[in-house]
Amino acid sequence: IDEVKTREQLAEEVAELRRWSDIWHRIAEIFLTVDDEDMYADVLAVVLDATESKHGVFGYINEDGNMICPSMTRTIWDKCQMADKTIVFQRDTWSGIWGRALVEKNTLYSNAPSDVPEGHIPIQRSLAVPIIHRDQVVGLLHVANKPTDYDESDVWLLENIADHIAPVLKARLQRDDHERRRREIEETVRESENKFRSLFEQAGDYILILELPPDGTPLIVNANQAAIEKHGFTHDEFIGKPLSDLDDEVNRE
């Protein structure tokens, strides 16, 4: 009997490992192939299926320390009748089991009904797992309303998913942050260029921008409207013209 039990247990363990492998393969494929706009909801769909949960959230912590829940628009929020809907939760508003899980950096679950705002869907059972990378909370997996109670097998599964997601999510967030900073720098440069161009064109005194090539003869590479009006050249005629071609007044300048 003991030998049969052992074989049955081994078979169950192998089946569970295969199930876990399939779940992670599906999630990894989503991270590799799906854009940010749909990635969170698609990963959440796999998690809900794996935990037999009806509702849930897959969110991340942004650079300001707030939790962003892009997956909500396709899960809980579609079913809520709340006037104040948001996918951005500032840290000082974190509450309930998921808020505690984030603050405490610890998995929490409850098989008792939760207090929710008026209009929110009822939450009968819930399980919240913070996504942690190198001791930094980078996101959250929160599932709710499994038909039966959540137990340690659900905790094991969701924690393993969170552990595997953590470095991938962190890399994705860093990439997005770098891209955001790059766009901000480009916008700042554009604004500076536009400001300089406006000052350059509107200056009352004529201005020439020169380039000094290896042969030492200054060449005009740009001229403002005042210079064009003074000398009668078009803008294109100025470009590339040696400074020495202008009259004595320009040379003195």
Q: What is the pLDDT along the chain (253 residues), one digit of tens a residue?
A: 455 567 777 777 777 888 888 999 999 999 999 988 789 989 999 999 999 999 999 999 999 999 998 876 455 556 654 444 457 889 998 989 999 999 999 999 999 998 876 667 788 999 999 999 999 999 999 999 999 999 999 999 999 999 999 999 999 889 888 888 888 888 888 888 888 888 888 888 888 888 888 877 888 888 888 888 888 888 888 888 888 777 554 444 5
- What pLDDT shows up at residue 251? 47
* Residues present in the chain in total: 253
What are the contacts of 236-244 at 24+ separation with CB within 8 A? Answer: 238/208, 242/217, 242/218, 243/208, 243/210, 243/217, 243/218, 243/219, 244/217, 244/218
pLDDT, tens digit (0-9, with 9 covering 90-100), for 13-22: 777 888 888 9
- What pLDDT shows up at residue 77? 56
- What pLDDT shows up at residue 241? 83
pLDDT, tens digit (0-9, with 9 covering 90-100), for 109-127: 999 998 876 667 788 999 9
Residue with tokens 């499994």: 146
Contact 208, 233 (CB under 8 A): no
Return the DSSP state at 84. S
Coil, helix or strand at residue 98: helix
222 exposed, middle or buried (CB, 10 Å; 0-12, 13-18, 19+)?
middle
Q: Which residues lie closer than 8 Å to 163 by C-beta, 6 or more apart?
A: none
- What pLDDT shows up at residue 119? 65
Beta bridge partners of 88: 68
